[in-house]
Chain A
Amino acid sequence: MENEEKEIKMPLLGDKAPDFEAQTSQGSLKLEDFRGSWLVMFSHPADFTPVCTTEFMAFAQLYEEFQKRNCELLGLSVDSTSSHIAWARNIEEKTGVKIPFPIIADGNKEVAMKYGMLHPGQSKTETIRATFLIDPEGVLRLILYYPLTTGRNMQEILRCIDALQTADKHHVATPANWKKGDKVVVPPPLDQESAEARMKEGYECIDWYLCKKELKE
């Protein structure tokens, strides 16, 4: 018998996000429909499960914060559109939290395969908690994989959007535990002359290769 195992594709940072056309709880959508916006595309194992419900509520409660950052949300699981609709209605009925973003019904796992959302070591049938941050040009900028048992931190996802948008706008990097308003890292000098000059440029420096500055918005 031929090897029946399908190749699992793992997209990489800097790649164009794989195209798709999928049925969602808000109609048929293509990746290209999101061009011009940042997109958080995320998978969850299954509708009507406890950790996933807390994640959806947390995403919904921060929806306005994502919108302020020109960022849309798009969920995905292998459940049907009817299941997604029923689950969203149940969350609203039981908690008062409305799910405002679309959810892909990826029954044939076509999108999940393209994005490497199936990790057989975790589950042979369900998608793991994968999160893809895609920029307005459709490039994959950040990937987070969480196991089935661990709910994501949506504030961390917002922080990552802030960091990437800040890096793009100001051509800087952001240090550990950075949050919006904190000092940013100045790109290190690439030659000896610049390294010697760096210490006199008015930045807050530990040494020539680690200097920070305030951002003027």
Chain B
Amino acid sequence: MPCVSPDGSVTESAKRVLLAAVEEKSAEEIAKAAGLPLFRVRGSVRELVDAGLIESRNGTYRTTEQGKVKIV
């Protein structure tokens, strides 16, 4: 069950990840802020990076402008 559907919609947990990563954070920090297990955040950010909704930089993550649109 991917966190990004083929129609571009995202799951509630993916929205929590996107919201947590509006300010650049590590996966551990996102897990804490989003209240999600770390393994799940690692899996989600991988999918969200592939979908262009989060960008990865030196082990940290930040929600892209395209990703911010999905939060609401």
Question: A residues touching B (Cβ–Cβ < 8 Å)?
Answer: 23-30, 32-34, 36-37, 72, 81, 85, 102
What is the count of residue pairs linking A and B with beta-carbon distances less than 8 angstroms?
39
**B62, chain A: closest CB distance, angstroms:** 20
For chain B, residues 39 to 70, give those with C-beta under 8 angstroms from any C-beta of chain A.
Answer: 39-40, 42-44, 46-47
Which DSSP category, helix, strand, loop or mixed, fits chain B's interface? helix
Interface string of B3-40 (1 = CB under 8 A from A): 10000000000000000000000000000000001111
Question: Is B1's CB within 8 Å of the partner chain A?
Answer: yes
Interface size on B, residues (CB 8 A): 12
- CB of A27 within 8 A of CB of B38, answer no
Q: Please, could you name 5 A-B residue pairs with CB atoms under 8 Å apart, sorted by A?
A: A27-B47, A28-B2, A28-B47, A72-B37, A81-B1
Which residues of chain B have C-beta atoms less than 8 A from A27's C-beta?
1-3, 40, 43-44, 47
Which residues of chain A have C-beta atoms less than 8 A from B3's C-beta?
27
**A6, chain B: closest CB distance, angstroms:** 28
By Cβ-Cβ distance, the 7 closest A-B pairs, closest first, are A33-B42, A33-B39, A29-B43, A34-B39, A27-B43, A27-B3, A33-B43
